[in-house]
Chain A
Amino acid sequence: MTEGHWEHFEHGADVGVRGTGPTLAAAFEQAAQALAAIVVEPHRVAAATTVAIRCAAPDEELLLVDWLNAVIYEMATRNLVFADFRVTIADGDLTATAFGEPLDRARHRPAVETKGATFTELRVARLDEGGWLAQCVVDV
């Protein structure tokens, strides 16, 4: 696997986010892209500003939940929407830069807020075909 990919998967009232990539960090980047795309269609967002995000957790699955919740927190408190993410992970510590811009409701046409990342369908794993998968359901 050389390229990252994100998608949404179905979960009743809410939305599942799934990212895959050649590395754990790439899969986390893609999962965050899927999260950001719940709120705004990605092509509408410019990478005009950056936010640094750090988090740490004792295992990779908890780290994914913490990471997505950190992105939700930054979107909510800074009123930003995001277009792209760069993530590095070492020894359970995640360091990231999120690229985005202030929400403009007329231009971005946001659909719905994200409330929190959940432990439902939470999975971080190596894929048989190579690369990593990172997914969970997000409450909206």
Chain B
Amino acid sequence: MPTREHLHRRDANAWVIEPHGAMRVPAVIYADDELMARMDDKVFEQTANVATLPGIVGAAYAMPDAHWGYGFPIGGVAAFDPDEGGVISAGGVGFDISCGVRTLLTGVAADEVAAVRERLADALFETIPAGVGSTGDIVLGDDDMDAMLAGGARWAVERGWGEAADLARIEDGGRLAHARTECVSARARKRQRKEMGTLGSGNHYLEVQRVADVFEPAAAEAFGLRAGDAVVSIHCGSRGLGHQIGTEALREMVVSAKESGIRLPERELACAPIDSPVGRDYLGAMAAAANCALANRQIITALARRVFADVLPRARLELLYDVSHNTCKIEDHEVDGRRRRLFVHRKGATRAFGPGHPDLPEALREVGQPVLIGGTMGTASYILRGTEDGMARAFGSACHGAGRDMSRRAARKRWQGRAVVDDLAARGILIRSPSFRGVAEEAPGAYKDVGAVVGAADAAGLARTVARIEPMICIKG
């Protein structure tokens, strides 16, 4: 079992566990000294375990916000080659398939938003379903469900939720074409029927934010970010449908891994060969769940636009970008001088393609992909950009958020939800949430320092920091 003694420093912000035992490739952890000192030992063990899986290419990676996950660490990145017996892992994607963040540019100054912030906060809270048991106005019948699962954000735009221009600003053009709706179970569909256009709970949110600092003016300009402007960010995923698909696939892979002869260091690392019935079915269902997440964020965007049109009509809410941080994507990467088609798992990690990548929209191609890092409701979020170095360092990947530093139970004992809301209000941050207990569990102090995480990702060359954005209004699930 790998421990800290197996780690050796590769440079100031990268640590390596060389292959030993059943490891096929090295494990590489990107973090600075301080994050490394506080990192859960389980991260090293789980990253090394991922390195034992069949068909893994290059190395198993952990991002600076990595923590103990399910088989894969949260903050884990690993690429697999189907031609070399590579696998796909439900735990390597996570339960909230295609959970992600999108940021919208308002085109108006934060001061203008501040002038109407109470009204705006109330209207957003009233319009966007958030929290346990919340349902949307959209109830999907069987045909609509299939169309949504196949069409993703494109389906949502066709149904009037958003604009065609949004699609170019979403990974994969807003739709994973390899979705197979027939692989989505009746139970998964039932869990989703009333959940379209809902935020969910836990760490999911819609925030109105102020661009507080710009670090790279040229990139910020290309992204349309100006210091002092207001932006809107949405963090949520594939709701009940994704959770159910993850649940079913994890169980199926636990049972079938034995039959496939895959030796697993721990049961939760369950996976299936990409080129197998279980692997192919999961890939098709996972892509459908990703489409559900993209459609969900698109609908919430349309709801937010309606609120702004009413409360602050000058605001445009133009989509800067939409990233997913729980995924397995089929991507072409250069490995040892050879172009290879790989299945890249990012569990709590953000795709961060560098400048010139053909998958980026033309307006962003020269600068690199926007990498959207969600912070907490009391600290800050960050916008980074992908780098050429990052393509080689972790298949074009970076961190995804702050990562928890304290359990929900400990947070609940330490903070009162009402006091958290009042403290933040005194700092000019309006919280609207159906649950004080939920707010206490999500208190900003329960998270790691997102600035340190972003700083380490930047220093490691995974992505470059473009802007820091601070919360003004947070609709918390």
Listed in ascending order, the chain A residues whose CB lies under 8 Å from chain B are: 8, 10-15, 39, 41, 58, 62, 65-66, 69, 72-73, 76-77, 79, 103, 105, 109-113, 115-120, 122, 137, 139-140
Which residue of the partner chain, among A11, A72, A112, contacts B407 with CB atoms under 8 Å? A11
Q: How far is the CA of A27 from the CA of B403 in the complex (A)?
A: 32
Establish whether residues A140 and B202, one from each chain, have CB atoms under 8 Å apart when the complex forms: yes
Of all chain B residues, the one with the shortest Cβ separation from A139 is B95
Of all chain B residues, the one with the shortest Cβ separation from A104 is B133
Establish whether residues B132 and A105, one from each chain, have CB atoms under 8 Å apart when the complex forms: yes
Establish whether residues A73 and B244, one from each chain, have CB atoms under 8 Å apart when the complex forms: yes
Q: State the Cβ distance, A115 to closest chain B Cβ, in Å.
A: 4
User: Contacts A76-B191, A113-B200 known; A10 to B409 CB distance under 8 Å?
Assistant: yes
The answer, yes or no, to whether B345 is at the interface (CB within 8 Å) is no
Q: Which 10 A-B pairs have the closest CB atoms?
A: A110-B132, A119-B268, A111-B437, A116-B247, A115-B243, A10-B407, A103-B133, A115-B95, A13-B404, A113-B201
Q: How far is the CA of A117 from the CA of B70 in the complex (A)?
A: 11
Q: State the Cβ distance, A34 to closest chain B Cβ, in Å.
A: 11
What are 26 A-B interface contacts by the 8 Å CB criterion?
A: A8-B409, A11-B68, A12-B404, A13-B404, A15-B409, A65-B251, A72-B243, A76-B240, A79-B135, A105-B134, A110-B131, A110-B133, A110-B435, A111-B408, A111-B438, A111-B441, A112-B132, A112-B201, A112-B202, A115-B96, A115-B243, A118-B70, A119-B70, A119-B250, A119-B270, A122-B267
A-B contact count (CB 8 A): 118
Q: State the Cβ distance, A52 to closest chain B Cβ, in Å.
A: 16
Listed in ascending order, the chain B residues whose CB lies under 8 Å from chain A are: 40, 67-68, 70-71, 74, 94-96, 131-135, 187, 190-191, 200-203, 240, 243-244, 246-247, 250-251, 254-255, 267-268, 270, 403-404, 407-410, 412, 434-438, 441
User: Contacts A12-B68, A116-B246, A140-B408 known; A105 to B254 CB distance under 8 Å?
Assistant: no
Which residue of the partner chain, among A62, A115, A116, A117, contacts B254 with CB atoms under 8 Å? A62
Establish whether residues B243 and A77, one from each chain, have CB atoms under 8 Å apart when the complex forms: no
